[in-house]
Structure 1
Amino acid sequence: MADLFDSPSDAAATQAHRPLADRLRPRALSEVIGQQQVLGPEAPLGVMLEAGALSSLVFWGPPGVGKTTIARLLANETDLHFVQISAIFSGVAELKKVFEEAKLRRRTGRGTLLFVDEIHRFNKSQQDSFLPHMEDGTILLVGATTENPSFELNAALLSRSQVLVLERLSLADLERLVQRAEKEVDRALPLTGEAREQLLEMADGDGRALLNLVEQVMAWRTERPLDPAALTSRLQKRAAQYDKSGDAHYNLISALHKSVRGSDPDAAMYWYTRMLAGGEDPRYLARRFTRMAVEDIGLADPQAQRVCLDAWETYERLGSPEGELALAQAVIYLALAPKSNAGYAAYKAAVVAAKKTGSEPPPKHILNAPTRLMKEQGYGDGYAYDHDQEDAFSGQNYFPDGMKRGVYYVPVERGFERELKKRVDYFAGLRSKRNG
């Protein structure tokens, strides 16, 4: 049975040799889908263009959100010559050539917008080479990076640029992009409504990836719209964006840690599985879980640390994928455990005090005196053996002589630490009583 999905229109066929992403490239900033937080009338680029004063820029955002397209359109809007290079493939020789050509162009009255993709890949000296040409107006630099500029770009370069954050495309943005693609090829996607939504999810906020997926789907010959199961069987799901040494790694572990600290087991489980899906090493996660138990739960639930270590050992014995379940159970336990950072805070406060008074000797009464000379020097004089005292507590001073007694450990009224707080208060009262 013939179907309207059988063949593309004649108009689309004439451009079949051009990738769909190229055919749909916007010709004006007004055609860009999404990124209104930088392109809107009151947003940074909108204000700059209205004032006719465009500064050097760094676009920070994930792949496929329009960094290259916006840079190219900015050159058109400002009548600048557009030059594009990639830090992955360009070296010192090419940079020198680009700068020399920009100087010649400037002498004829034409400016240059230099777009540098993956600018964070350039080393410090290469990044520094841009500075004099930015300062004298030879180039207007627009860099693009998927990594945090604060960590990857020189302070000098950042001080001469404005960082603009580009965001993943929303599902609504991606739907608009699909509609634009359907209009371009004069065909509807051969998908049911649910399968269409699944396709948008597969793109994971990446417009370029979505258009590549759409192009694949449009090439299929099918007698009826495909449902989600059929789409999944024909199309590999795109791997989620995740770089185990980059921003995504640190952002996701931060989200996981804060979800545990915030006692939200569902959010913690979501971020845990997101990291596993991205290829994170479960051993790294096991180590981080143990850190969470020590740092954020502490003595409010002493069992939490043991749960993490047992889960870690279970993973080592079982391996993947069964071992991940043990770690998942540890995540749930941590999220629901009573929270206290009192031990962590006590440690940090004691470190500060130790650095300030690191040369002060212990009081003589708590020093051992194995030799006669040490006894003559007063070592051990007046030491009260606690087990011989009432309540097995002497209340003596154990800080250096002349040092004000420090209070570092302040337990909270949660979990097992509630009991520890009673003990702290009890001994503090006895100490005050016995020291008058």
Structure 2
Amino acid sequence: MADLFAQAGMEAGAPRPLADRLRPRRLDEVVGQEHLTGPDGILTRMSESRSIGSLIFWGPPGTGKTTVARLLARETDLHFEQVSAIFSGVADLKKVFEAARGRRAVGTGTLLFVDEIHRFNRAQQDSFLPVMEDGTITVIGATTENPSFELNAALLSRARVLVFKPLDAAAMERLLARAEELEERRLPLEPEARSALAGMADGDGRYLLGMAEELFRLPPDRDLDVAGLAATMQKRAPIYDKGQDEHYNLLSCFHKSLRGSDVNAAMYWAARMLSGGEDPGTIFRRLCCAASEDVGMADPQAMPQVVSAWTAFDRVGWPEGRLFLAQAIAYVATAPKSNAAYSAFNAALALAQKTGSLQPPKHILNAPTKLMKELGYHAGYLYDHDFPDAYAGQTFFPDELAGDRRADFYAPNERGFEREVKKRLDYWAKLRAERRGR
């Protein structure tokens, strides 16, 4: 029915999403996949030769897989047909194959794009083989999952796997610039918020344009900063019930007393909460948080001590169980303090959210299949136990972050056990520099 409306020109004035209006019309307009669509890319060469074979597009959402398939069909004069493995079964596929045979009889080939092809079961995947072999259809399957594990070997042997990459920052910026050109106005964002918007999209161009479309609906009276962007793009539920202010106030007093190494105040606030009918489990949970956030690696035994005391409390119960609670409070409050691990992980989360889904270096990826070996997985990996001190000094960060000082998250201090951890890290840094020839 939609096709009939389109043929009649009735869709011309209908609203269309920004991502659809910005859909590339030529292969060289596709952003972020220059290794495939650039001047020397394999898809460019296929398009120029006007001959393509069956392909599997492997990559995350919003990277142009569907768009590229449509463009290849147009540029090679093939009829484009699309099915989704989520909504289609064998009966639907048979109808598609029969229609393709009819077109072939009059000299027109068919490119069948199969979205989420990994969701088809083995029998459904096998049904493609005869029509692929006799040339009835050219299949392009799109998958977000590893084809080595999700697709039949027989299907893989008849199709070439091409890897689509998450869109990087430069590709995201090109999309935003195109959107602004189309809308004839700029996005109401400060520079840092513009970068944050790209980070929120996490390599997904379609999602980026969806968020941009929401921003274009805002009145252009002021530019949003990062905080304003976050408030606009997501609704945050209140953290606490306002009817229980006293409950959370006392928990805060208890936790800050633990952090401040005031064992007497910590016991007082715990007693206040218990006297008010607080569940002892709530106090143990806060003790666990303090043992990790505020003691951390300065005394790694703090967490086991709290968990052991909590387990004993659950087994023995009240009133004797208060002995275990008191011991746990005393241990955490008097332990040496370090929030280095906590701060390091917060920094890691912030960098991960900002940089998106950067690809890991191939040398630390396993290669259980022939395809993965051909793609360079595991090549060059150094087994640490083959080296003195069981340390090879190899990098494990994505290439884009290797050597980036922003990734130096963990900075242990000189308190408690963390002093020994710092010695280890310094020693490994020395070995790493020596083994990398620095």
Shorter-normalised TM range: 0.5 to 0.7
Partner of 2:68: 70
Shift of 1:153: 0.1
Matches within 5 A, 1:25-44: 25-44=23-42
Alignment length (residue pairs):
253
CA distance in 2, matches of 1:203, 1:410: 41
CA distance in 1, matches of 2:387, 2:189: 59
Partner of 2:18: 20
Partner of 1:387: none
What is the aligned counterpart of 2:135 among 123, 131, 137? 137
CA distance in 1, matches of 2:183, 2:73: 29
Shift of 1:313: 7.2
CA distance in 1, matches of 2:172, 2:387: 51
Calculate the aligned-residue CA RMSD, in Å: 3.4
What is the aligned counterpart of 1:54 among 52, 55, 58? 52
For residue 123 of structure 2, what is the amino acid of its counterpart? S
Partner of 1:89: 87
Q: Greater CA radius of gyration, 1 or 2? A: 1
Partner of 2:200: 202
CA distance in 2, matches of 1:122, 1:315: 48
CA distance in 2, matches of 1:213, 1:48: 34
Q: Which piece of structure 1 moves more, 36-45 or 196-205? A: 36-45
CA distance in 1, matches of 2:56, 2:306: 43
Structure 1 unpaired stretches of 5+: 1-13, 239-302, 318-324, 333-408, 416-436
For residue 206 of structure 1, what is the amino acid of its counterpart? D
CA distance in 2, matches of 1:85, 1:315: 55
Shift of 1:237: 8.7
Contact 2:51 2:76 (8 Å CA) reproduced: no
What is the aligned counterpart of 2:111 among 102, 110, 113? 113
**CA distance 1:224–1:123, change in 2 (3 Å):** same
Partner of 1:148: 146
CA distance in 1, matches of 2:43, 2:218: 40
Q: Indicate the SS of the match to 2:16.
A: coil
For residue 195 of structure 1, what is the amino acid of its counterpart? A
TM (norm. structure 2) is 0.53
Matches within 5 A, 1:383-422: none
Q: Deviations over 1:33-90 (max 9, x none)?
A: 1201111232221232333331100000000000000000000010000000000000
Percent identity (aligned)? 58
**CA distance 1:215–1:308, change in 2 (3 Å):** same
**CA distance 1:315–1:68, change in 2 (3 Å):** farther
For residue 44 of structure 2, what is the amino acid of its counterpart? G
For residue 179 of structure 2, what is the amino acid of its counterpart? A
For residue 197 of structure 2, what is the amino acid of its counterpart? L
CA distance in 2, matches of 1:31, 1:60: 20
Contact 1:61 1:145 (8 Å CA) reproduced: yes
Structure 2 unpaired stretches of 5+: 1-11, 237-298, 313-337, 346-384, 392-438
For residue 235 of structure 1, what is the amino acid of its counterpart? M
**CA distance 1:137–1:186, change in 2 (3 Å):** same
CA distance in 2, matches of 1:82, 1:314: 66
Partner of 2:169: 171
CA distance in 1, matches of 2:201, 2:302: 38
Contact 2:83 2:113 (8 Å CA) reproduced: yes
Q: Indicate the SS of the match to 1:134.
A: helix
Shift of 1:229: 1.3
Q: Indicate the SS of the match to 1:208.
A: helix
Shift of 1:411: 11
Contact 2:50 2:75 (8 Å CA) reproduced: no
**CA distance 1:312–1:213, change in 2 (3 Å):** farther
Shift of 1:308: 10
Q: Deviations over 1:357-414 (max 9, x none)?
A: xxxxxxxxxxxxxxxxxxxxxxxxxxxxxxxxxxxxxxxxxxxxxxxxxxxx999757
Matches within 5 A, 1:303-342: none
Shift of 1:182: 0.5
Shift of 1:207: 0.3
For residue 66 of structure 1, what is the amino acid of its counterpart? G
What is the aligned counterpart of 2:96 among 89, 95, 98? 98
Partner of 1:220: 218
CA distance in 2, matches of 1:177, 1:410: 47
Q: Deviations over 1:181-200 (max 9, x none)?
A: 01111111011111111111
Shift of 1:18: 1.1
CA distance in 1, matches of 2:310, 2:228: 35
Contact 1:202 1:237 (8 Å CA) reproduced: no
Q: Indicate the SS of the match to 2:24.
A: coil
Contact 2:109 2:136 (8 Å CA) reproduced: yes
1:232 paired with 2:261, answer no
Contact 2:28 2:38 (8 Å CA) reproduced: no
